[in-house]
A and B are shown apart, each in its own frame.
Chain A
């Protein structure tokens, strides 16, 4: 498929280009819905489609008014800040507890490793609506429902599997003789951890943290049930907006979120390459 050999028959040539066309169409399907949001968010009218002015590329057809609304309207700013207050704390919890546990899990002798692993991964396996229902019932019993800490705990639980998976994957390539060498040279376990182990597994920890952050930042089902109006997050606001009175400001919010995910994607890719270089593997 890589390149067409010079001896290819006509049929092969046709298929080769047809196949590329099919793939291009699928890529279009994947990416177009996301890209189309961006120009639409600059619409000067309150429409969800391209106005004739926009199609003529008339500057009149474009405006920043939806962005002004997004950044000026408390309906959007309060949820944005709520998201920014919840996600970092939840991420910190997941990363701190998750990294410790991942290090424990990567020891050579761990009793009940499979059962423990299954329990720790379970928040990723169980459908969100079921987690949300269970948390709603249980957190109401213990008085956490509708509180900031309830949402933080719930989001931390949801982010943990990602931290566990990425950090254990990094630890697979970790050379354990390095910690022994450090100990041999007189470093205590804590010092060994921060000076030797941590720098090497840092890419895994950071990408796990990014996964946990995006899980919390993007999560809507659980917060919908566990949170109350005081914890309304950005995705929640978007969800309400989509369900009830859909306003084009949502497109501005979406564009902002797309920019964030592009930044995250690039960061992760850089981290992945660095981690593989550190482990002595070729990139890719």
Chain B
């Protein structure tokens, strides 16, 4: 009831002759100024409209827009390096050896701590796979050293400490020392290593730290702290100057000499920030070279630009075949009497409504070497039995099947534009002496161009994002960028790259839609005629 009371005032207002109001503000029935009352009514109407829309809007934002935003985010997100190797990343910043040579002992010590922890959590292989996208061989480097790192000869520190001061063996003592601010401040590396070790013992191994042997990397950190000259009060005074030492850098070199390769370290350094343009560079066959400058990948690794280009030209070929086949049909339908046109329209709408999988299966069956088309051609005698045409698992297969699938999307907009062309124009042209061809080419065709534009953009947009049909009939030569995206999500698990490729494709489609909106108007999208 409330809305009925507030909508009507607009009508009389518009009907009022302009100059009649002379004194004071015009009042609504309840005595408030009409202007305010109308404003309130309008506000309530807007609010009501928004209230009706909001459930769906929220639903779409959560179920659809958020996922797309997540994908865009993943295409630049790169926290894995700084999360898995936080100490190494921090130490690398202070190190000045790069890019000429591998960093010094400090960095390797940090890497040792990080890697022991990562190995316990079993996340070092994930980091290896991530960095392997940027430099081949890093995956096995991390996996191999991950196996060795627990057996590094750093236990000599443990032994020497325990020998020098047996109290250092007991985790309970450690726990007491490490709860004191002063000791923690004096022994930063040790405190950090101790915290990491206790967390890890609880989280990864589900043990009680107070009942376990303190790990070697904690003693190694303690050695480095004390060697740096720390001398905290209330802590066992151990003289480390006489300790037998071991170079962690050398231990890593023993495990795999690639650790001394400055290029490996450059990759780690380049990908240590939380955000990266690496996936996007990879999507266009580029990479962050040494020193962080973008450069082309080696020729044999360049695949994506070729794939984008193939997606484009094949989509164009499909769009063009659709125009070629769709135009005559749309012309016929728009010039036939309505009754017969409606009957023929069913032949267009039936494929449109048939399941995509059904149509794709049909083409898979028809195009096979032993399929119906080849059988028929052999039977007619056009093709010899030995030279059956290769129609499937290549670009030809994709183009034929996709043309069939997208043809209704071309015919329907063409038809709706052609329906608006008055037949009298062509008759007028003929009465003025044009022959059939001139009347068509100079009068009808120019008027039908908006339909060609609409249909082409629609077919092109649908085609560049297609996945199912190319996957099934395209083999390796006839696949699109979408298939590569799917491959990276489900097989290679390089989600970042999949997200970057998807973002580029999305940008492309949005630009095309913007064009479509400018030319045709998005509101004119018609479904099923």
Contact = CB atoms under 8 A, between A and B. Distances in A.
A198 B517 CA distance: 31
A125 B513 contact: yes
Contact of A37 (B3, B51, B346, B358): B358
B347 A27 contact: yes
A119 B61 contact: yes
A243 B56 contact: no
Interface stretch (B105-113, B160-168, B213-221, B520-528): B520-528
Interface string A82-105: 000000000001000110110111
A98 B355 contact: no
A254 B362 CA distance: 9
Contact of B486 (A20, A29, A129, A137): A129
A183 B499 CA distance: 52
Contacts of A57: none
A138 B359 contact: no
A284 B344 CA distance: 13
Given A19-B328, A129-B486, A160-B56, A183 B362 contact: no
A238 B365 contact: no
A139 B46 contact: no
Contacts of A220: 356-357, 468
Contact of A128 (B68, B353, B465): B465
Contacts of B69: 134
Contact of A48 (B3, B56, B74, B365): B365
A34 B346 CA distance: 13
A56 interface: no
Contacts of B370: 47-49
A109 B527 contact: no
A160 B472 CA distance: 28
Interface in B306-348: 325, 328-329, 331-332, 335-338, 342, 344, 346-348
A183 B365 contact: no
B311 to A, nearest CB: 11
B371 interface: yes
B50 interface: yes
B4 interface: yes
A278 interface: no
A97 to B, nearest CB: 4
B51 A104 contact: yes
A17 to B, nearest CB: 13
A2 interface: yes
B71 A211 contact: no
A49 B372 contact: yes
A165 B527 contact: yes
A30 interface: yes
Nearest to B51: A104
Given A30-B351, A153-B63, A265-B350, A125 B499 contact: no
Given A33-B359, A110-B46, A265-B349, A116 B57 contact: yes
A258 B335 contact: no
Contact of B502 (A101, A133, A139, A268): A133
A34 B63 contact: no
Give the interface SS of chain B, mostly helix, strand, loop or mixed: helix
A218 interface: yes
A238 B357 contact: yes
A63 interface: no
Interface string A48-74: 111000000000000000000000000
A246 B365 CA distance: 10
B485 A133 contact: yes
A280 interface: no
Nearest to A122: B64
Contact of A127 (B348, B355, B465): B465
A137 B372 contact: no
A154 interface: yes
B14 interface: no
A136 interface: yes
Interface in B23-51: 42, 45-46, 48-51
B401 to A, nearest CB: 9
B300 to A, nearest CB: 26
Contact of A218 (B61, B331, B355): B355
B492 interface: no
A129 B502 contact: yes
A116 B67 CA distance: 18
A129 B8 CA distance: 48
A33 B362 CA distance: 6
A101 B372 contact: no
Contact of B328 (A2, A23, A31): A23
B377 interface: no
A184 B355 contact: no
Contacts of A246: 364
B68 A134 contact: yes
B354 interface: yes
A268 B528 CA distance: 9
B368 interface: yes
Nearest to B523: A117
Contacts of A111: 46, 49-50
A137 B71 contact: yes
Interface string A189-219: 1000000000000000000000100100110
B63 A129 contact: no
Contacts of B63: 135, 153-154, 156-157
B372 A36 contact: yes
B194 interface: no
A26 interface: yes
B506 to A, nearest CB: 5
Contact of A119 (B57, B335, B349): B57
B327 to A, nearest CB: 10
Given A50-B372, A100-B53, A103-B52, 12 more contacts: A23-B329, A27-B329, A129-B482, A130-B485, A134-B69, A134-B71, A156-B59, A166-B527, A189-B3, A218-B357, A221-B467, A257-B358
Closest 8 CB pairs between A and B? A127-B465, A104-B52, A134-B67, A183-B4, A138-B67, A101-B56, A1-B335, A134-B71
Interface of B: 1, 3-4, 7-8, 42, 45-46, 48-53, 55-57, 59-61, 63-71, 74, 325, 328-329, 331-332, 335-338, 342, 344, 346-351, 353-366, 368, 370-372, 375, 404, 407-408, 436, 461, 464-468, 471-472, 482, 485-486, 489-490, 495, 498-499, 502, 505-506, 509-510, 513, 522-523, 525, 527-528
21 contacts: A1-B331, A22-B328, A23-B329, A26-B328, A29-B325, A30-B351, A31-B347, A34-B362, A36-B365, A50-B372, A100-B53, A122-B64, A130-B506, A132-B486, A218-B356, A218-B357, A239-B357, A254-B361, A257-B354, A262-B350, A284-B338
